[in-house]
Amino acid sequence: GQQLNQSPQSMFIQEGEDVSMNCTSSSIFNTWLWYKQDPGEGPVLLIALYKAGELTSNGRLTAQFGITRKDSFLNISASIPSDVGIYFCAVRTTSGTYKYIFGTGTRLKVLA
Amino acid sequence: EAGVTQFPSHSVIEKGQTVTLRCDPISGHDNLYWYRRVMGKEIKFLLHFVKESKQDESGMPNNRFLAERTGGTYSTLKVQPAELEDSGVYFCASSQDPGYGYTFGSGTRLTVV
């Protein structure tokens, strides 16, 4: 089946540092999304990208939809302790059901 | 508005037993999805309801899994009989317009021992 390759698997960073993670696919997708899962909670949508080349920000988060439509990255600037969690990239399939394919996640730990 | 509610939050059962998970979507949301995350792996699609109809159940692993949404409100996902590989976190999500994303519940962590 279709897969998204998300990296890195985990990151340990110091508070205040910037973070970058990315996601690649062997197939083209027209919608890329980034979700965050806090411990004990469900995934929450951070940023949705609908156009190739699009760069979108949400506070300290910035995500880009790759020109080839096969990749995306997420940057977090000046990390804080509450950024801890698992970040998932996801793509929306082209079928009518709007189901998502998710990456395996990047686990982020922030050291104060 | 109330979010997507899932019950129970945790369930530990023995192999061979039956478990039923419940999801209450956000009121008025016609679209309801079930997803599952097995430890350390990606979150995988199981199925999609529109109101009470199954729109896509291509992600259901096998016939031990049965999902229902009677009356188009809450949904249940039954696993019978449970196997060890069914362990994971089961997420429910709902949306009125899934083209703009959907809201996930907190999940049910299922452990089969």
User: What is the per-residue pLDDT across B5-59, written as a single tens digit (0 to 9) for each?
Assistant: 999 999 999 999 999 999 999 999 999 999 999 988 899 999 999 999 999 999 9
Which pLDDT value is given to residue A1? 64
Residue in the block written with tokens 């229902």: B68
Which CB contacts under 8 angstroms, 24+ apart, belong to A44-48?
Answer: A44/B104, A45/B101, A46/A74, A46/A87, A47/A74, A48/B100, A48/B101
Q: Please tell me if residue B105 touches chain A, with a CB cutoff of 8 Å.
A: yes
Cβ contact, residue pair B40, A104, below 8 Å: yes
Which pLDDT value is given to residue A23? 97
**CA distance from start to end of chain A:** 40
CA of A89: which chain B residue's CA is closest? Answer: B42
Is B1 a residue whose pLDDT tops 70?
A: no
Beta-bridged to residue B4, according to DSSP, are none
DSSP state, residue B64: T
Which pLDDT value is given to residue A72? 97
Give A89's pLDDT tier (boundaries 50, 70, 90).
very high
Query: In this structure, what token pair is assigned to residue B94?
Result: 């709902």
Which pLDDT value is given to residue A112? 80
Sign for the CA dihedral angle at A13, A34, A2, B77 comes to positive
Q: Please tell me if residue B56 touches chain A, with a CB cutoff of 8 Å.
A: yes
Which pLDDT value is given to residue A101? 94
Instruction: Residue B105: list chain A partners with CB under 8 A.
Output: 42
A–B interface: beta-carbon pairs under 8 A: 55
Q: C-alpha distances in angstroms, A35 versus A109, B11, B50, B103, B104?
A: 16, 25, 23, 11, 10
Q: Please tell me if residue B41 touches chain A, with a CB cutoff of 8 Å.
A: yes
